[in-house]
């Protein structure tokens, strides 16, 4: 649907500094979307660890 398109992913991260949630829409196939979501989550984690 328009509210829940294929490739829609929400990724959340919670630390002592607070909680963030990001919304992504990936336009690849199923495996590509999983890989992109994994990369986005790891990127968010790395950013949190470096701050």
Long-range contact list for 38-44, CB < 8 A, 24+ apart?
A: 40/9, 40/11, 41/11, 41/13, 44/11, 44/13, 44/20
In tens, the pLDDT along 3-38 reads 889 999 999 999 999 999 999 999 999 999 999 999
pTM of the full structure = 0.86
Average pLDDT rounded to a whole number, residues 33-49: 98
**Confidence (pLDDT) at 35:** 98
* Residues near 11 by beta carbon (within 8 Å), at least 6 away in sequence: 21, 22, 24, 37, 40, 41, 44
Domain boundaries, the chain: 8-50
**Confidence (pLDDT) at 1:** 79
**Confidence (pLDDT) at 3:** 83
């Amino acid at each position: 649907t328009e509210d829940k398109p294929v490739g829609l992913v929400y990724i959340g991260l919670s630390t002592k500094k607070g909680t963030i949630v990001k919304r992504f829409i990936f336009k690849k196939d199923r495996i590509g979307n999983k890989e992109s979501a994994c990369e986005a989550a790891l990127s968010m984690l790395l950013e949190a660890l470096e701050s």
